[in-house]
């Protein structure tokens, strides 16, 4: 937990001088994450959005970001503030490769993709996005890998330049620390990011790094159980008469199911369900849940449920929410590690109460 480190002589340290610039625990974590992502360099930040901000600081006024339109509400909100700094952004449905390709500008310097997306569970073809980007520009391709994690998907192996993850979620898995991370292979990009990490200073504490290091030890076990429970819940909901639609890339009904099987090794516990009714039915459903906790965030051992339209994505402009499909009856579930039968029973009783 030290903030500073003894030096041999003025300007001669033993590898560390001040904890913001680096410390043994963060170094250990960053090396571990880089290895898991099949990268070379990892840079941990104080939150997922701090990691996003670190990447965007590679840009300058006059540059352009081409971003997936369906993405975490906080990322959307942050990107929309970039105009005041002279960085323009275009939101596009990157599952439509033709539409994605036509959205490039001469000054496009960063392509930002989530896959699977939050909350619509869209799957974007990473290899195709990289191919088109390199044909049309010298932009960097950044993939937000939070929903899949490196256990199920490794974008760097598919040609991406940067992988961003909210370590708060599955990578830590215990809902007890907030952190983000950027992983790269290129030495020059890493050098620029390392300078910005230290200069801007939004770094995690050594104790938070210890917690994530601990969480990573069980990630492979947790992800297998999240996948099993998530698929069981998705299949139950898909066959329920009180449900309109279920979005889970592991279901054969998902529009990009085959792409997901090709691109991913498996699926996490994330899924989206459209229940019958509207805002009132959604509120009753969430209030009636007993095992699922109504709360934001995801990826912890406990099951969570939320209403994106008025929670995680409330900051997204209404017209953009409607364009993406974030309706008042859309519930996002983060299926945890509880007993499968208990999870299904809880959802069943809440559906029956909300939609008699």
Tell me if residue 72 is catalytic.
Answer: yes
Q: Which of 70, 125, 144, 161 is catalytic?
A: 144
Could you give the percent of the chain with pLDDT greater than 90? 100
164, 51 Cβ separation under 8 angstroms: yes
Q: Is 317 exposed, middle or buried (0-12, 13-18, 19+ CB in 10 A)?
A: exposed
Q: Which pLDDT does position 124 carry in this prediction?
A: 98
Q: Which pLDDT does position 335 carry in this prediction?
A: 98
| 35 φψ region: left (φ > 0), alpha (ψ -120 to 50), beta (else) | alpha
Q: Is 287 exposed, middle or buried (0-12, 13-18, 19+ CB in 10 A)?
A: exposed
Q: Which of 169, 185, 222, 321 is catalytic?
A: 169
Alpha helix segments (H runs only) across the chain? 24-36, 48-56, 73-80, 97-102, 126-136, 149-152, 187-200, 206-216, 219-238, 257-263, 279-288, 318-324, 340-354
Q: Which pLDDT does position 280 carry in this prediction?
A: 97
pLDDT in tens, 256-284: 999 999 999 999 999 999 999 999 999 99
Task: Give the pLDDT band (50/70/90) at residue 92.
Answer: very high
Task: Give the CATH number of domain 7-216; options: 3.50.50.60, 3.40.640.10, 3.40.50.720, 3.40.190.10.
Answer: 3.40.640.10
Q: Which pLDDT does position 32 carry in this prediction?
A: 98
Instruction: Count the neighbouring beta carbons within 10 Å of the beta carbon of residue 118.
Output: 26
What is the C-alpha separation between 2 and 163, in angstroms, rounded? 29
Task: Give the pLDDT band (50/70/90) at residue 181.
Answer: very high
Q: Which pLDDT does position 102 carry in this prediction?
A: 98
Q: Which of 26, 63, 70, 72 is catalytic?
A: 72
Classified as helix, coil or strand, 103 is coil
* 224 token code pair: 């297998």
Task: Look at domain 219-354 and name its CATH class.
Answer: alpha beta
Instruction: Kindly state the DSSP code that residue 62 receives in the 8-state scheme.
Output: T
Q: Which of 20, 38, 235, 276 is catalytic?
A: 20
What is the C-alpha separation between 83 and 118, in angstroms, rounded? 23
Task: Give the pLDDT band (50/70/90) at residue 343.
Answer: very high
Q: Which pLDDT does position 179 carry in this prediction?
A: 98
Residue 333's alpha-carbon distances to 120, 225, 248, 268, in angstroms, are 11, 15, 10, 11
* 332 token code pair: 């996002």
Stretch 141-168: mean pLDDT:
98
Q: Which pLDDT does position 246 carry in this prediction?
A: 98
pTM for this entry: 0.96
Place of tokens 């279901």: 251
Q: Which pLDDT does position 18 carry in this prediction?
A: 94
* 56 token code pair: 């965007």
Q: Is the dihedral of CA 64, 67, 69, 72 positive or negative?
A: negative
Stretch 10-24: mean pLDDT:
95
Which string of DSSP letters, residue by residue, matches 272-340?
EEEESS-HHHHHHHHHH-SSSEE-S---SSS-EEE-GGGTTTTTS-HHHHHHHT--TTEEEEE--SS-H
303, 49 Cβ separation under 8 angstroms: no
306, 294 Cβ separation under 8 angstroms: yes
Tell me if residue 242 is catalytic.
Answer: no
Residue 159's alpha-carbon distances to 58, 162, 197, 219, in angstroms, are 19, 9, 24, 24
Q: Which pLDDT does position 41 carry in this prediction?
A: 98
pLDDT in tens, 102-135: 999 999 999 999 999 999 999 999 999 999 999 9
Stretch 195-203: mean pLDDT:
97
Instruction: Kindly state the DSSP code that residue 14 receives in the 8-state scheme.
Output: S
What is the C-alpha separation between 95 and 68, in angstroms, rounded? 9
Domain boundaries, the chain: 7-216, 219-354
Q: Alpha-carbon dihedral of residues 182, 231, 227, 327, nearest 10 degrees?
A: 20
344, 271 Cβ separation under 8 angstroms: no
Counting other chains too, the contacts that 19-22 makes at CB distance below 8 Å and 24 or more residues apart are 19/206, 20/198, 20/201, 20/203, 21/198, 22/198
Instruction: Count the neighbouring beta carbons within 10 Å of the beta carbon of residue 319.
Output: 8
């Amino acid at each position: 937990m030290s903030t500073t480190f003894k030096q041999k002589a003025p300007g001669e340290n033993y590898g560390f001088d001040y904890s913001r610039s680096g410390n043994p625990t963060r170094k250990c974590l960053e090396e571990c994450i880089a290895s898991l992502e099949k990268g070379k360099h990892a840079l941990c930040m104080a939150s997922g959005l701090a990691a996003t901000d670190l990447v965007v600081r590679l840009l300058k006024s006059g540059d352009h970001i081409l971003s997936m339109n369906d993405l975490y509400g906080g990322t959307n909100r942050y990107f929309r503030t970039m105009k005041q700094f002279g960085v323009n952004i275009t939101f596009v449905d990157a599952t439509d490769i033709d539409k994605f390709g036509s959205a490039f500008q001469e000054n496009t310097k960063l392509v930002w993709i989530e896959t699977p997306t939050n909350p619509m569970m869209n799957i974007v073809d990473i290899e195709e996005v990289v191919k088109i980007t390199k044909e049309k520009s010298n932009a960097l391709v950044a993939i937000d890998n939070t929903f899949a994690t490196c256990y199920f998907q490794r974008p760097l192996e598919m040609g991406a330049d940067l992988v961003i993850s909210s370590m708060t979620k599955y990578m830590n898995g215990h809902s007890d620390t907030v952190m983000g991370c950027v992983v790269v292979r290129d030495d020059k990009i890493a050098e620029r990011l390392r300078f910005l990490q230290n200069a801007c200073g939004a770094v995690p504490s050594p104790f938070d790094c210890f917690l994530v290091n601990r969480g990573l030890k069980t990630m492979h076990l947790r992800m297998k159980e999240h996948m099993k429970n998530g698929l069981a819940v998705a299949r139950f909901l898909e066959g329920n008469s009180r449900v309109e639609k279920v979005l889970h890339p592991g279901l054969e009904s998902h529009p990009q199911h085959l792409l997901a099987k090709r691109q991913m090794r498996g699926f996490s516990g994330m899924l989206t369900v459209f229940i019958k009714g509207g805002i009132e039915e959604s509120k009753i459903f969430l209030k009636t849940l007993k095992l699922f906790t109504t709360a934001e965030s995801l990826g912890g051992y406990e099951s969570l449920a939320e209403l994106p339209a008025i929670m995680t994505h409330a900051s997204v402009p209404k017209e953009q929410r409607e364009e993406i499909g974030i309706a008042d009856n859309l519930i996002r579930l983060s299926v945890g590690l509880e007993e499968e039968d208990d999870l299904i029973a809880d959802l069943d009783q809440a559906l029956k109460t909300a939609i008699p």
